[in-house]
């Protein structure tokens, strides 16, 4: 090994503490013979250990030495010398202290990450519960509307020439001039298009726009509310350019149904 490799390996520190095997000790002593300036490196290490010892003091059991050796031991050796064991013991206590501090910081960091992850999961769960609560409330409201005698059910079959499989149900409240459109039976409109709902007088045919089925794709229930409905004889739904039209595009009439007199 080169001089730099010996210094970087940590063998000199283990040599000073007497933690090397006989084979490793011979390896380090051979390096000292080849690189005499390593002696000054060793003396600096011993001085540092003495200072650490004076700063920390105390005695640690043999089991601690074993743990320290396992944490710091690499694969390089050096000779047995007379040691100041009280100084080395203090150094070991300092290392143990640092290792313990590092372990605590790591565990605290892990616990913090787990806590943050748990908090995030709890927030997501809370949002899901709240969303489900809103959806349940909306569903209950829609059920009340469907079952209410105040709402007349108007079925709108699909236009055979345009979309034979389409169907729409309108729940119409004449007293309040409102209606709920169940558009589950309509296909998703193409990009740039929107469904428009019309209130119709039949003789002569007079259409009045009463609303657009906007956000069709993102509205899971496919229930839409329309208001201010002039007394209708029929309801119709056409596919129009985004933003709607002033009059219905009859060749894009998807569904049509009459209101019972």
What is the pLDDT at residue 109? 62
Residues 164 and 89 in one domain: no
Residues 166 and 254 in one domain: yes
Q: Residue 96: CB partners within 8 Å, gap ≥ 6?
A: 60, 64, 67, 68
Q: Domain for residue 135, yes or no?
A: no
Residues 170 and 249 in one domain: yes
My answer on whether 95 and 20 are in the same domain is: yes
Q: Are 26 and 77 in contact (CB under 8 A)?
A: yes
pLDDT at 125: 57
Q: Are strands 206-212 and 193-201 parallel, antiparallel or unpaired?
A: antiparallel
79 and 168 together in one domain: no
* Domain of residue 168, CATH code: 2.60.40
Residue 158 CB neighbours (<10 A): 20
Domain assignment present for residue 108? The answer is: no
Where do the H-state alpha helices sit in the chain? Answer: 3-9, 11-17, 22-34, 38-56, 62-72, 85-147
Adjacency order of strands within the sheet including 167-173:
152-157, 167-173, 178-185, 223-227
* Domain contains 79: yes
Domain assignment present for 125: no
| Residue 169 in domain | yes
CA 129 vs. chain centroid, Å, equals: 17
Say whether both 159 and 252 belong to one domain. Answer: yes
How far apart CA 62 and CA 144 sit, in angstroms, is 78
Q: Is the pLDDT of residue 194 over 90?
A: yes
pLDDT average, residue stretch 244-254 = 94
Q: Which pLDDT value is given to residue 71?
A: 46
- Is residue 131 in a domain? no
Which of 69, 100, 131 terminates a domain? The answer is 100
One domain, residues 254 and 156 = yes
Is 120 within a domain? Answer: no
Given pLDDT bands bounded at 50, 70 and 90, which one contains residue 130? low
Report whether pLDDT(118) > 80. Answer: no
Half-sphere exposure in the Cβ direction for 83 (13 Å, CA): 19
pLDDT of residue 20: 78
Number of structural domains, the chain? 2
Do residues 91 and 164 share a domain?
no
- This prediction has a pTM of 0.49
Confidence of residue 30 (pLDDT cuts 50, 70, 90): confident
Query: Do 160 and 245 belong to one domain?
Result: yes
Predicted local confidence at residue 68, as pLDDT? 46
Sign of CA dihedral 233, 238, 242, 244: negative
Residue 105 lies in a domain: no
From 58, 80, 100, give the residue that closes a domain: 100
Provide the domain limits for residue 10: 3-100
């Amino acid at each position: 090994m080169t001089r730099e490799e010996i210094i970087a390996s940590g063998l000199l520190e283990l040599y000073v503490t007497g933690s090397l095997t006989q084979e490793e000790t011979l390896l380090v002593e051979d390096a000292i013979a080849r690189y005499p300036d390593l002696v000054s490196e060793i003396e600096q290490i011993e001085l540092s250990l003495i200072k650490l010892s004076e700063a920390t003091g105390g005695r640690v059991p043999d089991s601690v030495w074993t743990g320290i050796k396992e944490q710091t031991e690499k694969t390089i050796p050096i000779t047995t010398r007379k040691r100041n064991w009280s100084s080395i013991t203090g150094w070991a206590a300092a290392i143990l202290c640092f290792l313990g501090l590092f372990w605590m910081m790591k565990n605290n960091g892990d616990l913090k990450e787990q806590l943050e992850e748990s908090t995030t999961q709890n927030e997501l769960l809370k949002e899901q519960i709240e969303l489900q609560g809103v959806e349940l409330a909306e569903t209950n409201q829609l059920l009340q509307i469907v079952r209410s005698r105040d709402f007349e059910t108007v079925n709108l079959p699909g236009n055979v020439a345009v979309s034979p499989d389409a169907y729409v149900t309108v729940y119409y409240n004449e007293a309040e001039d409102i209606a709920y459109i169940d558009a589950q039976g309509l296909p998703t409109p193409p990009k740039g298009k929107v469904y428009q709902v019309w209130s119709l007088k039949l003789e002569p045919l007079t259409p009045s726009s009463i609303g657009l089925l906007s956000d069709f794709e993102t509205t899971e229930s496919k229930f839409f509310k329309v208001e201010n409905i002039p007394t209708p004889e029929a309801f119709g739904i056409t596919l129009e350019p985004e933003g709607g039209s002033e009059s219905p595009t009859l060749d894009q009439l998807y569904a049509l149904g009459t209101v019972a007199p």
